[in-house]
Amino acid sequence: MKLTYYGQSTIEIVTDGKTLLFDPFITPNELAKNIDVNSLKPDYILVSHGHGDHVADLVTVQKNSGAKVICIAEIAGWLGKQGITNVHGMNIGGGFNFEFGRVKMVNAVHSSALPDGSNGGNPAGFVLSSEGKKIYFAGDTALTYDMKLLEDENLDWALLPIGDNYTMGADDAIKAAAFINCKNIIGIHYDSFPVIKIDKEEVAGKFIHAGLNLKLPAIGESIEL
């Protein structure tokens, strides 16, 4: 299973012969200017919520690739109005078996509206089960005690926001890692805007002190999970 980071919360995971892309936000992100969004041809796109820094390239990537979009029901309806019908709508607490594995949609504490002001439904995270591993993509979320519900999931990796201001910062992400009982963390949702710029050395030190394995891959970098 291979993960590639494209900045902000945009993650690609290749698993069981399928390519999954989470929260496509590349074109407006100056930090990801060297990434060609038209080269991305996922089989599936998973969308955590409707904010522009998570869906900016959603329609473009879907139309280029024909990918199936996995998202909350309200975003599925919004996509339908734009002529995108290859969509699998879900809701919080539900799971579904896809050809690459199982996806469960879990709670996130945030807000959600689409760029045109349409109702984005509830924000969400995902638990992906594939190739005998479990990956938690938290999306944009505050620290919430609901994360304790994932404690016995035996998560292999967790992608947690660490940029603060709009989401959890590093300190709350460390608490979240304890709640979910996962030591392997990949940081997301940081550095793209001035208010979420982090001191990477300071943040890394905090995670090391907490006994956690934090990865902050460079944009375009891939790691094996």
DSSP string, 130-174: ETTEEEEE--S----GGGGGGGGG--SEEEEE-B-SSS-BHHHHH
Q: Report the C-alpha gap between 32 and 16 in whole angstroms.
A: 27
- For residue 146, the model assigns a pLDDT of 96
Compute the mean pLDDT over every residue in the chain, rounded to the nearest whole number.
97
- Residue appearing with tokens 């936000």: 25
- For residue 112, the model assigns a pLDDT of 96
- For residue 2, the model assigns a pLDDT of 98
- For residue 56, the model assigns a pLDDT of 96
Which residues have CB under 8 Å from 158's CB, separation 6+? 135, 136, 138, 176, 177, 180, 182, 184, 185, 186
Which residues have CB under 8 Å from 201's CB, separation 6+? none
What integer is the mean pLDDT of 201-206?
98
Which tokens sit at 23?
């929260």
- For residue 160, the model assigns a pLDDT of 98
Q: Report the C-alpha gap between 216 and 142 in whole angstroms.
A: 20
- For residue 181, the model assigns a pLDDT of 98
- For residue 15, the model assigns a pLDDT of 98
Q: Could you report the per-residue pLDDT of 82-111, keeping only the tens digit for each?
A: 899 999 999 999 999 999 999 999 999 999
- For residue 54, the model assigns a pLDDT of 97
Confidence band (pLDDT; 50, 70, 90) for 24?
very high
pTM over 0.85, yes/no? yes
Confidence band (pLDDT; 50, 70, 90) for 61?
very high
- For residue 43, the model assigns a pLDDT of 98
- For residue 97, the model assigns a pLDDT of 98
Confidence band (pLDDT; 50, 70, 90) for 151?
very high
What integer is the mean pLDDT of 41-68?
97
